[in-house]
């Protein structure tokens, strides 16, 4: 009797270790994608995407864009480009009015949100990598959703297997 119980416990423990290690392996298996130019002056192409259908996830990779709407854990986002200014350095702009370049993806439960303006309601202080101009402070998924609901913030948005897995804000003064 004791031998049977021990073998069942050992088998259960082995299964738990196997499940835990496979989840960790899956998280580590997400490839590193090549980032676009942060201040690129053209919209990133997505030839694999069918924009005639309702908004769907972008293909795997990193998009320079901003989140335009969040509802039920699904974010709608669009590509952006840098438009040089005559008086100022410039600003980010989205597609022109009537353009259908929009994507929609669920925000992963364990999304990595790297803020350029700090976390929480107050967004006090800059949290920027001075070399790249990208956010470096890790904030929660809830902070990302609240920030997206306040307005469009330029970011590098990483999509993997149809989900947004990383959002790294681009600092603009």
Query: What are the tens digits of pLDDT across the range 133-162?
Result: 999 999 999 999 998 888 889 999 999 999
Give the residue, 4 or 85, on which the prediction is more confident: 85
Confidence of residue 123 (pLDDT cuts 50, 70, 90): low
Interatomic CA distance for residues 42 and 148, integer angstroms:
23
In angstroms, the CA 60 to CA 29 distance is 13
The answer, yes or no, to whether residue 164 has pLDDT greater than 60, is yes
Per-residue burial over 23-52, b if 16 or more Cβ lie within 10 Å, else e, is eeeeeeeeeeeeebeebeeebbeeeeeeee
Chain position carrying tokens 């970011």: 155
- 62-91 mean pLDDT: 93
Considering the entire predicted model, what is its pTM?
0.79
Local structure of 89: helix, strand or coil: coil
Q: What is the pLDDT of residue 13?
A: 40
CA distance 153 to 156: 10
pLDDT number for residue 121: 67
The pLDDT of residue 51? 80
Binning pLDDT at 50, 70 and 90, where does residue 7 land?
very low
């Amino acid at each position: 009797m004791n031998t049977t119980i021990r073998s069942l416990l050992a088998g259960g423990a082995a299964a738990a270790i196997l499940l835990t290690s496979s989840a960790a392996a899956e998280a580590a298996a997400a490839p590193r994608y090549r980032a676009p130019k942060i201040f690129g002056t053209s919209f990133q192409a997505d030839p694999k995407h069918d924009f005639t259908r309702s908004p769907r996830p972008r293909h795997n990779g990193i998009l320079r864009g901003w989140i335009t709407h969040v509802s039920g854990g699904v974010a709608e986002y669009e590509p952006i480009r840098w438009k040089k200014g005559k008086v100022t350095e410039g600003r980010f702009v989205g597609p022109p009015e009537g353009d259908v370049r929009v994507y929609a993806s669920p925000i992963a439960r364990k999304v990595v949100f790297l803020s350029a303006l700090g976390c929480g309601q107050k967004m006090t202080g800059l949290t920027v990598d001075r070399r790249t101009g990208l956010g470096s402070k890790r904030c929660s998924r809830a902070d990302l959703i609240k920030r997206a609901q306040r307005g469009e913030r330029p970011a590098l948005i990483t999509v993997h297997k149809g989900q947004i897995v990383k959002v790294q804000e681009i600092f603009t003064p």
